[in-house]
Amino acid sequence: MKTDPNIKIVIIEDDEVIREGYTVLVGRGPGYQVVNSYTSFDEAAKTIVNDAPDVILLDIELPGTSGIAAIPKLRKMLPLAHILILTVYESEKIIFEALANGASGYLTKNTSPAKITRSIREVMEGGGPMSVNIARMVIRSFQRNPDSPLSKRETQILELVVEGKGRIQIANELFIDTETVRSHIKNIYFKLNVNSKADAIKTAKQNKLI
């Protein structure tokens, strides 16, 4: 049973300015103690067990082992610790991978310091805090038509199209080439029986495919 009144926090973030900023912003709150910070999971793995954190603030994009891959490793090393993702990534695939791997919450880096500290306490109380935009994305995914003719990748691409992103932006975000994006969009049009982006978006929304 926890006897220390302070919530012990470890931060894993490779950006020095952001890491130090979180250390100050979170650590100055009453009841919060940042016991250590690391630039990567690989660095943290050497001594984090000795830190015995209650909550780990974890970035996704880290040198070496990614944040996503680090989650199950951290859970095995520290089964009682709560892992709170704090990242710039809002990709549905990454969000669900993080949650499926055992993250307790998911916040984006534009989250206010007050919300971050509240979220740390919330995970300690059994909650699953998320940024508003992340929560909306998760809810929307459960509201989709389960009989969608679109594949997961096609749905992902269509959602990026809805956001106004072009083929090059989509290719860069999904780490695929533009010709693959073009092929997926062609398949989307065929499956939805439409001939334009506007009609594809309209049909998809009407049928709760996105």
Q: What integer is the mean pLDDT of 24-40?
A: 92
With b meaning 16 or more CB within 10 Å and e meaning fewer, what string describes 177-197? eeeebeebbebbbebbebeee
Q: What integer is the mean pLDDT of 36-42?
A: 97
Cβ–Cβ contacts within 10 Å for residue 101, how many? 18
The domains located in the chain, with CATH, are 7-138 (3.40.50.2300), 145-206 (1.10.10.10)
More confident residue, 8 or 113: 8
- Alpha-carbon torsion angle 90, 96, 183, 192, nearest 10: -100
pLDDT at residue 83 greater than cutoff 50: yes
CB 124 within 8 A of CB 57: no
Instruction: Report pLDDT digits (tens) over 135-187.
Output: 666 656 655 666 788 888 998 899 889 888 889 999 998 889 999 999 999 99
pLDDT at residue 2 greater than cutoff 60: no
Cβ–Cβ contacts within 10 Å for residue 56, how many? 29
What pLDDT score was predicted for residue 142?
A: 58
Q: What is the pTM of this model?
A: 0.65
What pLDDT score was predicted for residue 131?
A: 73
Q: What integer is the mean pLDDT of 120-134?
A: 84
Q: Look over the chain and give the mean of its residue pLDDT values, rounded to a whole number.
A: 88
pLDDT at residue 70 greater than cutoff 60: yes
- Alpha-carbon torsion angle 25, 26, 32, 37, nearest 10: -120
